[in-house]
């Protein structure tokens, strides 16, 4: 005999809370670790404030970030941590949508999916607002 799972709104809120906490803690830890490595390798350099230096080429692509994380380059590790920090609230929206599906709340499933669509389109297009 199959047992019916009693899913409550508070259960989903607890899961979402843990997703947010873990995402922030992990991303901050990664950024901190990358910062330590960066300062260890470049902390002795004197900054030239008259010349603007943009984002290095090696952290502008996913493959460049991954390759340089493996090489333990601080900037790539920091970049990865920031990407995880940005992805954390997106995961929250995904988990909210799953919770609304389990609750059979069609309106909020639609709203959550619409928010995800807006985030996706904004990410692809590069436009904000």
Residue of 65, 70, 78, 71 whose CA lies nearest to 30? 78
pLDDT attached to residue 10: 77
- Whole-number pLDDT of residue 5: 57
Angle (nearest 5°) at CA 84 between 108 and 24: 80
The pLDDT tens digits along the chain (129 residues) read 445 556 666 777 888 889 899 999 999 999 999 999 999 998 888 888 888 877 788 888 889 999 999 999 999 999 999 999 999 989 999 988 988 888 888 999 999 999 999 988 888 887 655
pTM of the model: 0.78
Q: Which residues of 78-112 are buried (b: 16+ CB within 10 A; e: fewer)?
A: bbbbeebbeebeeebbbbbbebbeeeeeeeebeeb
DSSP structural state of residue 105:
-
Domain range summary for the chain, segments of one domain joined by + = 11-40+61-125
């Amino acid at each position: 005999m199959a047992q019916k799972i009693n899913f409550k709104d508070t259960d989903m809120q607890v899961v979402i809370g843990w997703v947010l906490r873990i995402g922030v803690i992990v991303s901050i830890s990664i950024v901190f670790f990358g910062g330590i490595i960066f300062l260890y390798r470049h902390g002795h350099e004197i900054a030239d404030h008259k010349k603007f230096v943009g984002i290095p080429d090696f952290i502008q692509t996913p493959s460049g970030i991954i390759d340089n994380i493996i090489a333990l380059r601080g900037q790539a590790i920091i970049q990865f941590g920031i990407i995880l920090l940005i992805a954390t609230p997106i995961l929250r929206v995904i988990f909210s949508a799953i919770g609304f599906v389990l609750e059979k709340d069609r309106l909020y499933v639609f709203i959550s999916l619409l928010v995800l669509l807006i985030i996706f389109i904004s990410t692809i297009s590069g436009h904000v607002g």
